[in-house]
Amino acid sequence: MSQLLGSILTVAPILQKAFLFDCMVGVTDREKFLAYYPAPGLNLGIKVGDSLRPGSINATAVAEERRVVRKIGKEIYGIPYVAVGYPIIEDGQVVGCLATGVTTEQEDRLREIAKNLTDALEDIALHTESLAKEADNLAQASHTLNDAAVQMEKKIAETSQINDLIRTLSTRSNVLGLNAVLEAVRAGTAGRGFSVVAEEIRHLSQTTSSSAKSIFRILDEMNQLVSVVSGQMEHTLNHSIQQSTRIQELYAVMQRLRDMADQLKQAAESTAREE
C-alpha cells in the first residue's frame, strides 16, 4: 500500500468529523473499499473489501483520474445525496480514491417548501389583486349611489316647494269659494246657480288641500328615508375606501413575501448547483 493512501486511511475518520454536516467517507484503492464511514442519515451499506462498481463515482474517479461530482436521487438508495470522488495520486499514478457524500434531503425539502410557498403566495396575490379591484369598483358604486341620493334629496326639496304652492292655491281657492257663497246668499234667488258653483269650488279646494297634506307627508317620509340611505351610502363609501386601501397594503405585503420566497427558492437551487 502506498504511503499517501495509508495516511488518508488514518485521517479519514478525523476528516469525517471535521465536516460541518453529517458526511459519509470512503477510501478505496484501485479495486476495492479499504474503509467506509457512514453518516447517521446516509448509509449505503458498503463494507470493507467490497469491489468498486463499474460506473460508480469511485471507479470513474480512478479510471479517468479526475474529480467526479454527482447528485444521486433517492430512487437509488432511498436517500438523495451528493457524492464527490477524488482520485488519490502518488508519483503520477492513481493509487485509490477518497469519496465523500452528504444527504440533500434538507436542501430538497427547502426547495419544495420554497416552491410551495411561492405558488401559495402567487395564488394569494392574485386573489388579493382581484379583491382590490372589486373593492375599488364597490367604492366607485357607493360614490355614485351617494351622489344619486344627494340629487334625490334636492328633487324632493323642489317637489316640496311645489306642494307648498299647491297648498297655498288651495287655501286661496277655499277663501274665494267662501266669499262666493256669501255673495250668492246676498244675491238671494238670483245667486242660487252661482252658489252651487261656489260650493263646488270650496269642495275642490278642500280636497286639494287634503291631497296636498298627504303628498307633503309622503314626501317628508321619503326625505327621511333618503337621508338615512344617504348616510349609509356615505358610511359604505368610507368603509369601501378604507377596505381598498388595506387590500392594497396587503397586496404589497404579498408581493414582498413572494419576492422573499423567490429568493429562498433561488438560494436553494444555487446550493444544489454548488454541490
User: Per-residue pLDDT tens for 33-43?
Assistant: 999 999 888 88
User: Which is more confidently placed, 51 or 74?
Assistant: 51
Predicted local distance difference test score (pLDDT) of residue 84: 92
Q: What is the pLDDT of residues 213-270, one digit of tens each?
A: 777 777 677 777 767 766 666 777 676 677 777 777 777 777 777 777 777 767 666 6
Domain 109-274 has CATH 1.10.287.950: yes
Which of 173, 162, 171 is closest to 215 using CA atoms?
A: 162
So what's the pLDDT on residue 20?
Answer: 66
User: Given this model, what pLDDT does residue 137 score?
Assistant: 72
Phi (first) and psi of residue 68, to 5 degrees: -120, 130
| pLDDT higher at 46 or 143 | 46
Which pLDDT belongs to residue 161? 66
Nearest to 80 by CA among 57, 109, 58: 109
Nearest to 13 by CA among 38, 46, 44, 30: 38
Q: How is residue 111 written as a grid cell?
A: 426547495
Q: pLDDT tens, 76-114? A: 777 888 899 999 998 889 999 999 988 877 676 667 776
| pLDDT at site 196 | 64
Residues 48, 28 contacting (CB under 8 angstroms): no
The average pLDDT across 45-61 equals 92
Task: Report the distance separating Cα 5 and Cα 29, nearest Å.
Answer: 8
Residue 57 has pLDDT above 80, yes or no: yes
User: Residue 189: pLDDT above 70?
Assistant: no
Given pLDDT bands bounded at 50, 70 and 90, which one contains residue 19?
A: confident
Closest CA to 81 of 33, 40, 27: 40
Q: Domains of the chain: which residue ranges?
A: 3-103, 109-274
Name which residue leads in pLDDT, 111 or 25: 25
The residues, ordered by sequence, that sit 6+ positions from 206 with a Cβ below 8 Å of its Cβ are 170, 174
pLDDT above 50: residue 115? yes
Q: What is the per-residue pLDDT for 209? A: 66
Q: Is residue 91 left, alpha or beta, with left meaning phi > 0 and alpha meaning psi from -120 to 50?
A: left
What is the structure's pLDDT at 63? 94
Identify the weakest region by mean pLDDT among 6-15, 45-54, 147-156, 165-174. Answer: 165-174
Mean pLDDT to the nearest integer, 4-25: 84
CATH number of 3-103: 3.30.450.40
19: left (phi over 0), alpha (psi -120 to 50) or beta: beta
Which pLDDT score, from 0 to 100, does residue 27 have? 94
Check residue 53 and report its DSSP letter. P
Q: pLDDT tens-digit profile of 121-168?
A: 677 767 666 766 776 777 677 677 677 767 776 776 766 666 666 666
Per-residue confidence (pLDDT) for residue 275, from 0 to 100: 46
Look-up: residue for cell 420554497? 114
Return mean pLDDT, the chain.
Answer: 76
